Structure 1
Amino acid sequence: MTTTPILLTSPDDVLGAVPYLLGFHPADSLVVIAFAGRGARGRLRVTTRWDLPIPPGELDRLVPLLKQEEVTHTVLAGFGGGALVTPAIDQAMRLLADAGVTVIEALRAEGGRYWSYVCTRVECCPPEGRAYDPVAGEVAVQAAYDGLVALPDREALRGLVTPTTGAVREKMREATRSVAARLRAEFAAMADPLEIPGAFVAEGLARVRASPHTFRDSGALSDAEAARLGIDLCVIRIRDEVWALMQDDELDAHVGLWSDLTRRLEPAFVPPVASLLAAAAWRRGDSALAGIAVERALEADASYSMANLLAQGLRQLVNPEILRRRMPTSAELDAGMGPPRIEWLQPMLALIDDHALPPA
C-alpha cells in the first residue's frame, strides 16, 4: 500500500487508513478490511466497500472472496447513521462467524466520532462515541507522506473520467475529424487494399506499446496523438495488446494515460480506453476507480464486451490476478487470431467515416 508499512493498532488507525485504502472518503458505506495471518504478523489481503443499504443477498458474495484470499480475520467499518450501518454490520458479523473468520473490530463512524460494536467498556467506548480526525491522524499523515491520495468523496473520483467540455472538447473534436480524414485518404491511396489491415495493425501495435512510456516521460499526448491512439484501439487485436502487456511496474502510467483519454476522446472512442483504465486500476488494487471506469465505458456502449467482462469480475469480487494469469501473450494473440484481416477494421472504418472532415 505504501513505501513504509503502516501498522493498524487502534480504531483511530483503521478509520484513518480507510480513505487511503479506497482512494476517497466514504459515506453511507460498509468497508471490510481483511487480513491473512495472526496478530501483528497479519497482512492486508483485500479491502472492499459496499453502498448502504445493501440489497438482500448481495453481501453473501463476501465469504467466497475471503476464502479465496485465505483471510483469517477482518475489521468492519460502517460510515453513516446507525439505521443504515447497524443492519449491515450485524449481517456481516453473522456471515463471518459462520465462515470461521474472526472479526477483531467493528466500527460505525459519523460526524467525526466512532462507536464500536465489539467493545463494551464505557471507559474507552462511551455511549456518545469517541472523536477522531480522519485527516490529521497519525495513519492519515503517514499515508499522505507516502504519496497516497484520498479524494473528498466518490463523486470526486468520478471526476477522473468525466468528459472534458468547452474549448478543450472542441479542439479534441477537430483533431479527431482531421486524423480520421487523413486516415481515410491514406487508405484510399493504397495501391493494394489487402495491405491495409497488416499495415494498420502493425503501426497500431507499435504505437500502443510505446504510449504508456511516452505518457510517463512526456505527459499528456497532443490532441492528434490522442485521437490516433483512440482510433487504433477500436481494433480489438490492438486493444488486447495493451491489456496483455500491462506490467505491474507500469500500472501508474497506464492509469494516467487511459484516464486522460477517457476524459478527452470523443464518446464513440471511449469504451476501449475506459475499459483499459478499469483493467489497470483493478490490477493496481483500486477497484473503486475500476468500477467508475467500467460505468463510463458502458455508458458509451452498453454491449462493449471487455467492459462487461470487467463489470462481472468486479461484481463477483474476482481477484484481478486470476484474469492477469489468463491473459495471453502477444505471440499467443498472434497465433490465436492469425494474420490481420479487413473485418478486424470494420468498426474502426465505420467510426472514421462518421468523424472525418468532409472532402475539401
Structure 2
Amino acid sequence: MTPCLTLLSPSDILAAVPYLVGFHPSESLIVIGMSADQAQIAARWSLPLPADALAPLTPVLEREKITELILVGYGTGQLVTPAIDEARRLAAAEGVKIGEALRAEDGRYWSYTCDLPHCCPPTGTPYDPTTSPVAAEATVHGMVALPDRQTLERTIAPFTGPVRMSMRAATATAVADLRARLAGAKDTEAFARQFVAEGLVRVRAAIASHAAGRRLEDAEAAKLGLDLTIIRIRDEAWTLMEDAHAPLWKDLTRRLEPRFVPAPASLLAMSSWRSGDSVLAVIALERALTIDPAYSMANLLMHALQQLLPPSLLRGRLPTPAELNTAMGTPKAAWLLPLTTLLDDPADAVTP
C-alpha cells in the first residue's frame, strides 16, 4: 500500500506521481488504483505500450478491490492517447470508474475527462510539481522523487576508480585461495560440505555486521560474492530476508565484480520489492539479467513484478533454513559447479 497523500486536483496528482514511482517519469503511463479514497497501487509502463502490457492489471483490480483508477500519461498526444484509451477500455470492462485521466508534457497538462475550455483549455494548463503541498507531504512520509529513471539506475551502478580496483584485487585473492583449496582437496564431496557450511556462516555474519552498522571489508565482500553463487548459500540469505537488508545487497551489487552480481542483485530486488520499492527491484533485476539472462531467481522475481503480484504472496511462505536442509539434502560437489565456471576471468590478473 502506498503512503496516504491528499490528491484534490490534477496538479496534486501530477505532484504525487514522481513520489509514487520514485522518479519524475517521461514517456510513461502511470496507473494509480484507488479504494476507499486510498491509493492501493501505483504502476508504471514505458510508452509505447507493448501488446497486452496492461493485462496483468485485471487480476490486481479485483485482488486489491480497486474502485477507481487515476491515469497519467507523459509525452506527446500521439504517444499517450492510445495508452490512455487502452487503460480506459480495461477499466470499463472491469466496472472500475476513471477518476481522472491526464496527459502531461513540458510543464502543462491536458485532461481526457474534461473538455470545458474555462478549466481545461486546449493549450493545456501549466503546473509545477515542486511547489505543490503534496511534495512536502510526500517528503514528510519519507518518499523520494529522483530526476529520472537513469538517476535511480545510477544508485546501484558499479563502483569505479579505487573502489573497483580494490575489489578486483580482493576478488583475485579470493579466487586464488579457492583454487588452492580445490587443488589440495582429497575428497571433493567433503570439501563441498565444508565450503557450504563456511558460506552459510559468512551470510549470517554479513547480515549481523550490516545490522550493527559495519560495512564489509573488501576481502569479506569478495568471499561472500563467491559464496552466493551457490544456490543453497544464496537461499540462506533469501529465507532470512528482511526489508532492512536492502542496503547490504545494494552495496554488494555495486562492489562485486560483474560475474558475481546476479545473486546479490536478485536479493536486492527481493528486499526492495518487499519494502514497496518495485521500481528499484526491477532495475536490480535488469542488472542481474543483463549479466546472466538465464539466472532463475531473477527471472522468477521479474515475472512476479511484471504480473503486479504483491510481495505478501511470499511472506510467510519462504522455507526456514532447516527446511532448506531437508529439501536440498547434504551438500554435494556438483553444487560448486556454478562457482567453478566463474573462476576464470582475465580481470582477476589485474592489480592496482
TM-score in same-fold range (> 0.5): yes
Offset from partner CA, 1:283-338 (integer Å, 9 cap, x none): 22222111111111111111111111112222222222223344222221111011
Alpha-carbon distance, 1:90 to partner: 1.4
Compare 260-269 and 26-35 and name the one that shifted more: 260-269
2:20 maps to: 21
Report if aligned partners of 2:265, 2:287 keep a CA contact under 8 Å in 1: yes
Report if aligned partners of 1:204, 1:238 keep a CA contact under 8 Å in 2: yes
1:272 aligned to 263, 266, 276, which one?
263
Report if aligned partners of 1:112, 1:131 keep a CA contact under 8 Å in 2: yes
1:78 maps to: 73
1:308 maps to: 299
- Residues 124 and 211 of structure 1: is their aligned pair in 2 closer, same or farther, counting only changes over 3 Å? farther
Alpha-carbon distance, 1:216 to partner: 4.4
Q: Letter of the aligned partner of 2:137 in structure 1?
A: Q
Partner-residue secondary structure (3-state), 1:324: coil
2:9 maps to: 10
The structure whose residues are more often helix, as a share, is 1
Partner-residue secondary structure (3-state), 2:56: helix
1:224 maps to: 219
Instruction: Show the 5 A alignment for 1:136-151.
Output: 136-151=131-146
Q: Please, what TM-score do these two structures have when normalized by structure 2?
A: 0.91
Report if aligned partners of 2:289, 2:295 keep a CA contact under 8 Å in 1: yes
Report if aligned partners of 1:180, 1:357 keep a CA contact under 8 Å in 2: no
Report if aligned partners of 1:181, 1:357 keep a CA contact under 8 Å in 2: no
Counterpart CA distance in 1 for 2:146 and 2:112 is 27
Q: Letter of the aligned partner of 1:19 in structure 2?
A: P
2:122 aligned to 127, 131, 135, which one?
127
Report if aligned partners of 2:189, 2:331 keep a CA contact under 8 Å in 1: no
Offset from partner CA, 1:136-190 (integer Å, 9 cap, x none): 2111122223332211111111112322223322211110011222233345556
Partner-residue secondary structure (3-state), 2:159: coil
Counterpart CA distance in 2 for 1:339 and 1:272 is 22
Alpha-carbon distance, 1:201 to partner: 1.9
Gaps of 5+ in 1: none
Gaps of 5+ in 2: none
Report if aligned partners of 1:178, 1:357 keep a CA contact under 8 Å in 2: no
Report if aligned partners of 2:4, 2:39 keep a CA contact under 8 Å in 1: no
Q: Does 1:113 align with 2:96?
A: no
2:284 maps to: 293
- Residues 338 and 266 of structure 1: is their aligned pair in 2 closer, same or farther, counting only changes over 3 Å? same
2:340 maps to: 349
1:170 maps to: 165
Q: CA RMSD in A?
A: 2.3
Counterpart CA distance in 1 for 2:349 and 2:189 is 25
Report if aligned partners of 2:4, 2:38 keep a CA contact under 8 Å in 1: no
- Residues 309 and 93 of structure 1: is their aligned pair in 2 closer, same or farther, counting only changes over 3 Å? same
Counterpart CA distance in 1 for 2:74 and 2:207 is 37
1:321 maps to: 312
- Residues 219 and 10 of structure 1: is their aligned pair in 2 closer, same or farther, counting only changes over 3 Å? farther
Counterpart CA distance in 2 for 1:29 and 1:213 is 40
Counterpart CA distance in 2 for 1:67 and 1:346 is 44
Q: Does 1:64 align with 2:55?
A: no
Counterpart CA distance in 2 for 1:213 and 1:13 is 42
Q: Does 1:30 align with 2:46?
A: no
2:252 maps to: 261
Q: Letter of the aligned partner of 2:278 in structure 1?
A: S
Partner-residue secondary structure (3-state), 2:294: coil
Q: Letter of the aligned partner of 2:110 in structure 1?
A: W
Partner-residue secondary structure (3-state), 2:128: coil
Offset from partner CA, 1:257-282 (integer Å, 9 cap, x none): 22221122111101111111111112
Offset from partner CA, 1:55-89 (integer Å, 9 cap, x none): 22222332222222221111111111111111111
Report if aligned partners of 1:35, 1:73 keep a CA contact under 8 Å in 2: yes
Q: Letter of the aligned partner of 2:145 in structure 1?
A: A
Q: Does 1:281 align with 2:249?
A: no
Counterpart CA distance in 2 for 1:81 and 1:353 is 49
Counterpart CA distance in 1 for 2:110 and 2:344 is 60
Counterpart CA distance in 1 for 2:30 and 2:326 is 43
Alpha-carbon distance, 1:21 to partner: 1.0
Q: Please, what TM-score do these two structures have when normalized by structure 1?
A: 0.89
Counterpart CA distance in 1 for 2:4 and 2:47 is 30
1:332 aligned to 318, 323, 326, which one?
323
Counterpart CA distance in 2 for 1:28 and 1:121 is 26
Alpha-carbon distance, 1:111 to partner: 1.5
Counterpart CA distance in 1 for 2:50 and 2:185 is 57
Counterpart CA distance in 2 for 1:164 and 1:278 is 18
Compare 326-335 and 119-128 and name the one that shifted more: 119-128
Compare 286-295 and 214-223 and name the one that shifted more: 214-223
Compare 284-293 and 211-220 and name the one that shifted more: 211-220
